[in-house]
Amino acid sequence: MGAAPSTPIHPLSMLTAVEVKRAVEIIKATGRVAEGALYAHIVLAEPDKATLAAWKPGVDPGRHVRAQIVPGPELELIEATVSLAQGVVTEWRVVTGERPTLLFRETANAMFTTRAHPEYIAALAKRGIIDVENVQIDTWPAGTFGYDAEQGRRIARCLSFVREFPTDNGYARPVEGLIVHFDLGRNEVIEVIDHGSVELPRAHARYMAADHQPLRADVKPLHITQPEGPSFAVAGNLIEWQKFAVRITFDPYEGLVLHGVTYEGRSIAHRLSMSEMVVPYGDPGEIHGFKNAFDAGEWGLGRMTQPLTLGCDCLGEIYYFDAVLATEGGKPWVIDNAICMHEEDYGVLWKHVDLFGGTSEVRRSRRLVISHIATVGNYEYGFYWYFYMDGNIQLEVKLSGILSVGAIEPGSLREFGNEVAPGVYAPFHQHMFCARLDLDVDGENNSVYEVEAERVPPGPGNPWGNAFRAKKTLLETEKAAQREVNPAVSRSWRVVSETARNGMGQPTSYKLVPTMSTPTLLAHETSSVGRRAEFAQHNLWVTPYAPAETRAAGDYPNQSSGGAGLPEWTAADRSLVDTDVVLWYSFGITHFPRPEDWPVMPTEYTGFLLSPVGFFDRNPALDVPPSEPGGNGSSCH
């Protein structure tokens, strides 16, 4: 149900399978694509703001599609753009020295080729591992460490785990000390490195229901029913709910993308997305020291999204959207039920009991949830966008899945990680996300203020010493706007309209609120990942809108040497005053793994809130109707 229409009627309608096929036909007709070339991605070329604003409903939007083609094992990519209506290639740009995301076909080949390599088989045999078929090989993004043998190659590093049978949890038994450096483009082992073995941990780490009998017997059914259906309306990829409107698309790297977020037709945001993320590990050792996966740019939060199952991943009256990507062979790839949408009860929206008048008023809060879940190797990342009746918009990221582990002598002390099961070692690490928030609050002419509480010293005008005020600082340029969270002074960042005023004459605004404590990047600024993930060195960055500036660590983060993306763009220190601003919020979790995270992690949460400040003249949710009474003759109002 709920798939995108086959004929796009809007410039930002979801990419369709027909469009993917057509784009590849047009590209192949040029005769310039080598046999065996792979398509790293095929995506809708989003029109820039001016083009989008000029488009009139009913007019063919003249859609373009972008493809990134990998012709061979060298460091060469082709960035092609095609006009579907005209049937021609409009851009053909050869990029040298850069790498695509890790390709599924090549990483699958890496597993088979490594398993057949005599030195690898010998290293396993030395550890008493004979059943090579059941060895699980994780291909990791390689990072950038300047090894001579890796220059000019597209590589991965392979770590191994032993399964007792095909559906076993291999992470129970890390093959410690063994790492394979692999050339993905040429499908060949560069080097099998054996740093010495540790005995395989003995205990299994299974998490299926059959492995944990008896199951608890006191969980009674809990049903969410909406007898009259949900309160949202869907037309293609346009969603309307409780005065909000939003259009969604799906990107191989960013996953879910929100466009044109409005409330009663007033603009809040032009485009909201997850631009990049990185998981840097804090253990400097031989097996874990290289680990810093860019799960958006090196794997792809959209590419790794799995179909969702009704009643399991999402509960209630669910609407699913399919997502169309492209296979590396250039065929349409439809992820069924990739995006889930539903409503959730969210407790009390507002309440007051008038102790004098004897009235009691309460309204229930409800939120619209639009979500998808990416499985990036061992980890799952759920991205949940929430819309609330009081004008709030929130992103919550839910982290689950399985820790990336090694094996140690049981009971041995470690400085950079924890033993989470006997002999199973999980290094400390971070999950750093960077959301790109192109807010347009009542139009494009916005400025950004940092607002925080400021204590006033006792003295004349503050005789009791209780005073504090809201200190507002205009972030005038890009360098001044590189900021950190500070919960002690309730720091937030307000995106203020330079043109619109509310009923009190105040500029309308939305603020970005760090709802949970968040770190910045812990790896040193001069380290490899410190340079490559510079976006995570500050929680906030602000840039003036530029259509090509979309990915926080640059367009080619895989094996990058650093400096691309936010640090590159903001070097010009452009003005941010009274302009079309884009906020970049880097947030996340520093994960000190614990036994409770094993063998599969209970969900951990991170995220942020976008909240109206003077965008409305009063509580915008006074018109929410009271709920029906609970059936005991009582009334909710």
Residues that bind Co ion (CB under 5 A): 591
Q: Which residue is nearest to Co ion (CB)?
A: 591
Question: CA quadruple 179, 180, 184, 187: dihedral positive or negative?
Answer: negative
Three-state DSSP state, 186? coil
DSSP string, 281-320: B---STTTTT-EE-IIIII-TTTTB----BTTTB-SS-EE
Q: For Co ion, give the closer residue by CB, 401 or 562.
A: 401
- Please report how close the Cβ of residue 298 comes to Co ion at its closest, in angstroms: 17
597 is catalytic: no
Fill in the amino acid letter for 107.
Answer: T
295 is catalytic: yes
Q: For Co ion, give the closer residue by CB, 8 or 141.
A: 141
- Please report how close the Cβ of residue 596 comes to Co ion at its closest, in angstroms: 13
- Please report how close the Cβ of residue 380 comes to Co ion at its closest, in angstroms: 11
DSSP 74: S
Identify whether the C-beta of residue 320 lies closer than 8 Å to the C-beta of residue 340: yes
Q: For Co ion, give the closer residue by CB, 248 or 434.
A: 434
* Residues sharing a CB contact under 8 Å with residue 482, sequence separation 6 or more, in sequence order: 538, 540, 541, 570
- Please report how close the Cβ of residue 437 comes to Co ion at its closest, in angstroms: 24
Q: Pick the catalytic residue: 379, 384, 425, 556?
A: 379
Residue 464 CA to residue 83 CA, distance in Å, equals 69
Residue 489 CA to residue 455 CA, distance in Å, equals 9
Backbone torsions φ then ψ of 98, nearest 5 degrees? -120, 160
Q: For Co ion, give the closer residue by CB, 467 or 600.
A: 600
Q: For Co ion, give the closer residue by CB, 399 or 435.
A: 399
Residue 43 CA neighbour count, 13 Å, CB half? 18
DSSP 458: S
- Please report how close the Cβ of residue 150 comes to Co ion at its closest, in angstroms: 27
Identify whether the C-beta of residue 141 lies closer than 8 Å to the C-beta of residue 120: no
Q: Provide, for the chain, the percentages of residues in helix, strand and coil under a 3-state DSSP scheme, each rounded to the nearest 5.
A: 10, 40, 45
Q: For Co ion, give the closer residue by CB, 279 or 621.
A: 279
Q: Pick the catalytic residue: 168, 283, 295, 580?
A: 295
- Please report how close the Cβ of residue 94 comes to Co ion at its closest, in angstroms: 38
Residue 301 CA neighbour count, 13 Å, CB half? 29
* Active site positions, annotated: 295, 379
